[in-house]
């Protein structure tokens, strides 16, 4: 988004490709690999693999200590769903 602060602390839905996975988070990127965002998800981060296309519903937050925007799955309505190709 051109003005990410407009979406700060709101729920957002996005789709992207998993670039890297870790125990409690993963990196989601756009199809061109130009933009990426960290998605914190302690429940399903390990259920996906690099290259999977997923839809994510999460809270869009600014992480002050790392000076970046992140997505955090922290509410019952939040999700990560693998998209079929």
pLDDT of 5-62, one tens digit each?
899 999 999 999 999 999 899 999 999 999 999 999 977 767 889 999 999 999 999 9
Q: What is the DSSP letter of 34?
A: S
- Tokens in use for 36? 């990426």
Give the pair of three-digit tokens for residue 14: 């996005």
| Spatial distance between the Cα atoms of 14 and 23, rounded to a whole number of angstroms | 21
Tokens of 27: 């990196």
Confidence of residue 84 (pLDDT cuts 50, 70, 90): confident
- The single residue listed with the structure tokens 């670039």 is 19
- Please state, as a whole number, how many other Cβ atoms lie within 10 Å of the Cβ of residue 58: 24
Per-residue confidence (pLDDT) for residue 43, from 0 to 100: 77
């Amino acid at each position: 988004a051109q003005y990410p602060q407009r979406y700060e602390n709101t729920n957002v839905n996005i789709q992207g490709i998993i670039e890297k996975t870790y125990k409690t988070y993963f990196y989601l990127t756009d199809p061109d690999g130009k933009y990426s965002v960290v998605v914190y998800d302690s429940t399903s981060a390990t259920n996906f693999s690099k290259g999977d296309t997923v839809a994510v519903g999460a809270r869009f937050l600014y992480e002050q200590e790392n000076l970046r925007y992140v997505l955090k799955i922290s509410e019952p309505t939040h999700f990560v769903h693998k998209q079929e190709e």
